Amino acid sequence: MLAAGAAVAALAALPLVYLVVRAGQAGGDRVVDVLTRPRTWELALNTVLLVVAVCLGCLVLGVATAVAVARVRLPAPGLWWVLASLPLAMPSYITAFAWLAAWPGIDGFWPLVGVMVLACTPYVTIPVLAALRLADTGPEDVARTLGRGPVAAFTTVTLPQVLPAALAGSLLVALYTLSDFGAPALLRFPAFTWAIHSSYTGSLDRVTAAVLALLLTVLALALVLAERRVRRRTSTARAVVATRRAEPVSLTPLGTGVVATVLAAVAALSLLLPLGVLAGRILRAGSTPDWADLARSTVTTLALGAAAAALVVVLAVPVGVLAARYRGRAVGVVESLAYLGHGLPGIVVGLSLVFLSLGLVPELYQTAPVLVFAYAVLFLPKAIGATRAAVERVPTSVEEVSRTLGRSALGTWFSVTGRQAWPGIAAGGLLVTVTTMKELPATLMLRPIGIDTLATDLWQHTSLGTYGAAAPAALLLVLAASVPAWFLSERGRR
C-alpha cells in the first residue's frame, strides 16, 4: 500500500519538476531578487488574508447550513439538501461575473471573499452533512440527562464527531482559493494566481512565475500540515458506530421561518442571481446560439469530467487508505505530496505538462490523456479527503474480524472496508467531475486542437467582449455541472 501511495505522490509532484527546473535555470541571484521584492510579499500577504477569510466564512456558513438542514425540521427537506449542494456547479468566475453585472464597479477584497465563500461553502457543507447523519447521538443524550442544554451538548459531544469532516472540507476550500484565478482577475484583487498568470501571459517571465508558484506550493504544503496536526488532535472522533441517530427537531414557526429564509437567501445569491444574469444576457443578445457547437462542447465536457473522476478515484484510494489507517513520517510525506497539485494554479500545471510531454513523449502533446492527467494532479486532494474520511468511519474491529476469519488484506478491503466506504469514495469522484467541468487555464493549454469544452467556449467569447454569446455556454456549463452535484446531494441525503 505504501509503494502504491508513493507512486501516486510521485505523479502528483511532477509539476514541481517543471518549477524547480525553471527556477534553477535562472540562478540563485535571480531567485533571491524575486523573493526579496516588496511586491512578492504584498502578494503573499494578500493571498494568506484571502485564504483565511474565505476558510472562516465557509467553515461558519457550511457547518451552520449542515446543522440547519440535518437537524432542523424544515418544509420540503429534500429541497434544502439540493440547494446546499448545487453551488458546486457554479464556477466562481461566473458568480463574480454575475455580481459585476448586478452591481457594476465592485471589486477588491471583500467582494471577492463573498464570491469565494458562496462558491466554496459546499465543500464544507456536504461532508459535515454526511458526518451529522452518521454521528452517534447516544453520548449527546447522556450529556442532556446530566444537565447540559441542547446547544452545549451538541457543541461538546456531537460537534467533535463531525470536526474532521469540516476540517477536510476547509482544506479543500483553502486549496481552491489558493489556486483560483478567474474570480480574483474579474474582481481585480492582486493574489498570487493573478501575478503568476500575468508573468506567463503578459511579460513571458517564466522564471518569476516559477518562483511565485513555488511560494504558492509552500503555502499549500503548510495548509496540509496544519490540517493534519489538527486532525490528529480530533482523532478520537473517528470510527464511531452510531447506536442512535438524531431526528430533526421542530422549532417554533418563527424559528423555522428564519432558518428557511436565511437558507433561501444564500441559495438566491449563489444560484438564482448568476442564473438570472445569464438568462438576461441571452435575451438581450437577440441572436441564435450555435447549438451544434454547444452540444459538442457539452459532450466533451461530460466525457472529460467522467474520465478524470475515474482516474482520480483509482489514484486516491491507496493514499486515502494510508492516511486513514497508518501513521508515520513516510505516510505524511506521501499525503502531503499528493495534496500539492491542487495548490498550484492550473496554468502552472498545464505549462509543466507541456514541458514534460514535449521533452519525454512528444506524441502525447495536446492529447486527451495528458489533459485528463492534468485534472488528476489538480483535483486529487478532493478524492483523497473523501476517501480518507470514508475509511476512517469504518471501525478497524470489523477489518480485524475479517482477517481472523481467513480473508486476505485485499479480500478484506473489497468485502468489508470498500463496501462500507464506497459512498464516500463515490462522493469524491462526483466532486472531481464537477470541478473538472469548471477548470479553465489547464484546459486552454492542453486540450487537443479543435476540441473545446464549455469553459473554453465561455472564455473565448468573454475575451472578445461578446458577453451575450458567452452566456449560453455559461448556462449550459452550470446545468451540466448540476447533474453530478445533484447526485452528490442525493447520495448525502440518503
Query: What is the model's pLDDT at position 488?
Result: 67
Q: In this prediction, what percent of the chain has a pLDDT beyond 70?
A: 85
Instruction: Supply φ then ψ for residue 249, to 5 degrees.
Output: -95, 150
The burial of 79, by beta-carbon neighbours within 10 Å (0-12 exposed, 13-18 middle, 19 or more buried), is given as: middle
Give yes or no for a contact between 135 and 237, defined as CB atoms under 8 angstroms apart: no
Cα–Cα distances in angstroms (integers) from residue 344 to residues 102, 176, 328, 485, 488, in the given order: 31, 9, 26, 24, 26
Instruction: Supply φ then ψ for residue 302, to 5 degrees.
Output: -65, -40
Cα–Cα distances in angstroms (integers) from residue 411 to residues 102, 302, 325, 414, in the given order: 56, 33, 17, 5
Cα–Cα distances in angstroms (integers) from residue 454 to residues 93, 100, 430, 439, 458, in the given order: 13, 21, 18, 10, 6
pLDDT at position 270 over 80 = yes
Lowest pLDDT segment from 160-169, 213-222, 238-247, 363-372: 238-247
pLDDT at position 92 over 60 = yes
| Residue 439: closest CA among 251, 308, 268, 248 | 308
Query: What is the model's pLDDT at position 235?
Result: 53
Query: What is the model's pLDDT at position 57?
Result: 95
pLDDT at position 85 over 90 = no
pLDDT at position 100 over 90 = no
14-54 pLDDT, tens digit per residue, is: 777 777 777 777 777 878 888 888 888 899 999 999 999 99
Residues 6+ away with beta carbon under 8 Å from 169: 58, 62, 123, 124, 125, 126, 127, 128, 385
Q: What is the mean pLDDT of residues 398-411?
A: 79
Give yes or no for a contact between 199 and 212, defined as CB atoms under 8 angstroms apart: yes
- How high does pLDDT run on average in the chain? 81
Lowest pLDDT segment from 138-142, 252-256, 450-454: 138-142
Grid cell, residue 381, equals 486532494
pLDDT at position 424 over 90 = no
Q: Which residue has the cell 469504518?
A: 394
Predicted TM-score (pTM) of this structure: 0.78
435-494 pLDDT, tens digit per residue, is: 898 888 788 888 888 888 988 888 777 666 666 777 788 888 888 888 777 776 665 555
Q: What is the mean pLDDT of residues 45-68?
A: 93
Choose between 145 and 51: higher pLDDT: 51
